[in-house]
Structure 1
Amino acid sequence: MALDVARGMEYLHAQNIIHRDLKSHNLLLDEEFRVKVTDFGTAKHVDRLTSAMTEIGTLGYMAPEVIEPPQPYGYDSKVDVFSYGVLLWEMYSRGKEENTLKGLGLGNYVKQVRQGIRPTIPKDCPDEFRNLINSCWEYEPKTRPTFAQIVKYLQYIIHTHKEEFKKAYGNTNFSQD
C-alpha cells in the first residue's frame, strides 16, 4: 500500500501537480488491492517558478508551511510528503495509537507541529520504516525526501526483507512492479 501511494504521488509530482489533501479518506483500493489516490478537488498545478499559497488541506495531515507559508514563496510538493508521513504512520499503527495532531484547532495544531510534536510511532515499528516516517515529518520542507526517493527506499526495504514478508504474510506477491 505504501509503495502504491508513493508511486502515484511520484507520478503526480512529475506532472507538477500538488495534491494538497493527501489522507487515508482519499485513497481507494481496486479489485486487485492496489491503492489509488483520489479526490483532486484541492490539487494545484505548479511549475518550477510558481508555488502554492492557499491554506488548504486537512488538519492532522497538513504540513506546517501550508499554515505558515514562508512569504513570499509559499509552499511546494513537499506538503504532500508531510501528509504521506501521516499515512505511513496510520498504515503501521492500524489505529493502535492516537494521532495527537487530529482534533486540534488551527492555533494548537500550528503550535504542536512547530514544536516537533507528531503522533507516536509504535515501539515495534522497524527502524527503516520509522526513519522513513520521521523523514517525511521533518519540519523543514527541503529536508523531506521526494517521492522518487521514497519509492526507491520502499523498493529497497521490500527487496531486503522479502523472505520475512513471505513468512509473515504467506505467498503474497511482493514484487516491485
Structure 2
Amino acid sequence: MRPKCLDMPVAVGFALDIARAMECLHSHGIIHRDLKPEKSPRQMMTAEMGTYRWMAPELYSTVTLRQGEKKHYNHKVDAYSFAIVLWELIHNKLPFEGMSNLQAAYAAAFKNTRPSAEDLPEELALIVTSCWKEEPNDRPNFSQIIQMLLQYLSTISPPEPVVPLQITSSENAVLPPESPGTSALMLGRDDSRETKGSFFCFNQCY
C-alpha cells in the first residue's frame, strides 16, 4: 500500500489509463483474466484463471472440472477485476480486508459480497458497482467504462487545454491526450530523473 491515498483525479486518471489498455486488449480478442495492481509471489494466479481476491465470481468454482471441460466466461471478467482495482486505487486498502484470498473469492462468488462503495461519490460509486455486478452481461464494456470515467473526471478536474492528437509516422497510430494519472506519473519521473518508460503504470497492473 502507498503511504497515503492518491488525489482523486490522479487515482481515476490511472484507472482511465488501465481502462484504455484493457479496451485495446479486448479489441484484439484478448481476455486478461488476471487484472490486479501488481504481480506478487504472495498472490499466485490460480488454476481458475485469476487471482482470488480480484477474480470475477464466475471464474471461481468449488467443483472440479472433468478432463477437457472448460469454464464458461467472457471478457466481462476483466470489468469485475477492474472494479476491484479501481476501489483499491481510491481507498489505498486491500479489498476484502480481513479475509484470506480464498475466503474473499468464496464470499464474492457465493454471497455476492463486495467491498463497500458507500463512501464514494455517487457517480464514481455507479461506475464501480456496475463493473462488479454479479451477472457478467450486466457489466459495462471498457469503451463504456472509459466514457464514464471521462465524464466523472470532467466534474472534478478543471478543463485542460485541448491537446492535438499525436500521430506516429511509423504506425499511424493515434495517441489520446494524457490522463491525470499518466501526467502525475510523468511529472514524478521528471522530478526524480528516472528513465522508466511512459507506460510504467501499466506494468503494475498486468
TM-score of the superposed pair, with normalisation by structure 2: 0.58
Q: Count how many residue pairs are aligned between Structure 1 and Structure 2.
A: 141
The one of 31, 54, 66 equivalent to 2:59 is 66
Matched residue type, 2:36: K
**More off after superposition, 108-117 vs 79-88:** 108-117
Say which SS state the counterpart of residue 163 (structure 1) adopts: coil
CA distance in 1 between partners of 2:179 and 2:26 (Å): 27
Q: Structure 1 CA distance, aligned partners of 2:34 and 2:58?
A: 14
Contact persistence 1:60–1:102 (CA under 8 A): no
1:146 aligns with 2:141: yes
Number of the residue aligned with 1:156? 151
* Equivalent residues of 1:82, 1:136 under 8 A apart: yes
Where do 4+ consecutive residues of structure 1 move more than 4 Å?
A: 172-177
Q: 97, 100, 105: which one pairs with 1:103?
A: 100
Task: Report % sequence identity.
Answer: 34
How far 1:65 sits from its partner (Å)? 1.0
Specify the alignment match of 1:57 in structure 2. 50
Specify the code of the residue in structure 2 equivalent to 1:110: Y
Q: Aligned residue for 1:84?
A: 82
Query: Structure 1 CA distance, aligned partners of 2:107 and 2:128?
Result: 20
Q: CA deviation at 1:161?
A: 2.6
- Distance across 1 between alignment mates of 2:38 and 2:92: 14
The aligned runs of 1:14-25 (5 Å cut-off) are 14-25=27-38
Cα–Cα, structure 1 residues 77 and 146, in superposed 2: closer, same or farther, change >3 Å? same
Summarize the Cα distance change of 1:158–1:8 in structure 2 as closer, same or farther, 3 Å threshold.
same
Deviation at 1:72, TM superposition (A): 7.1
Unmatched tracts of structure 2, length 5 or more: 1-13, 40-44, 64-68, 160-177, 184-206
CA RMSD of aligned residues (A): 3.3
| Aligned-partner SS, 1:25 | coil
How many Å separate the matches in 1 of 2:139 and 2:98? 19
The code of the aligned residue for 1:57 comes to G
Q: Is 2:113 the counterpart of 1:117? A: yes
Ranges in structure 1 where 5+ consecutive residues have no aligned partner: 27-41, 43-53, 165-171
Give me the whole-angstrom Cα distance separating, in 1, the residues matched to 2:157 and 2:113.
33
- Contact 2:49–2:59, Cα closer than 8 Å, also in 1: yes
Are the aligned partners of 1:18 and 1:77 in contact in 2 as well (CA < 8 Å)?
Answer: yes
For residues 173 and 134 of structure 1, the distance between their equivalents in structure 2, rounded to whole angstroms, comes to: 23
In 2, the alpha carbon distance for the partners of 1:174 and 1:133 equals: 19
